[in-house]
A = this chain, B = another copy of it.
Amino acid sequence: MTASGFDTHDHGHCMAQALQTAEETCARKGLQLTAQRRRVLEILLREHRAMGAYDLLDVLRADGLGAQPPTVYRALDFLVGHGFAHKLERLNAFIACAHPGERHAPSFLICKSCGLVAEMPSEGISQAVMTAAGGLDFVVDRAVVEAEGTCRSCRGAAA
């Protein structure tokens, strides 16, 4: 369905769609997409990049809302907990989910040159992790997979 994250695409559309999906999902599951939570999700969608919690805080404040760190972290806990956003452990940063609604164990590509982050297909990776872990008799709940490297356009620019 979706652009790779390194490709250009219709921002407005993808943002509106993600928000709508979040609203529908919350309605269906009885979750409260409150103003704060929605606001943080909107910022992540609009910026379309990995942002630190304090980056988000700066944006909230620039928009004239008084806010403190716990406000942001609480919103992020909700969004991450319900799959509307993800945390990038390598960057201590957060990003809106590229496939909200779809059940997935996210895997990320992080371009060291331009800083862009994309979700990549993770079925094969999850499978490989399960297999390797199973060999040590370990049951995996969740796997952090974050690959760093260079995206196509940055390789092109370097050449």
Contact = CB atoms under 8 A, between A and B. Distances in A.
B107 A132 contact: yes
Nearest to A5: B136
Interface string A82-95: 00000001100000
Interface in A29-62: none
5 residue pairs, one from A and one from B, having the closest CB atoms = A128-B128, A137-B152, A140-B149, A89-B89, A143-B147
Given A90-B144, A144-B89, A150 B138 contact: yes
Contacts of A118: 136, 138
A107 B109 CA distance: 16
A125 B129 contact: yes
Contact of A151 (B111, B122, B137, B143): B137
Nearest to A89: B89
B120 A124 contact: no
A150 B139 contact: yes
Contacts of A136: 4-6, 109, 118, 120, 151-152
A142 interface: yes
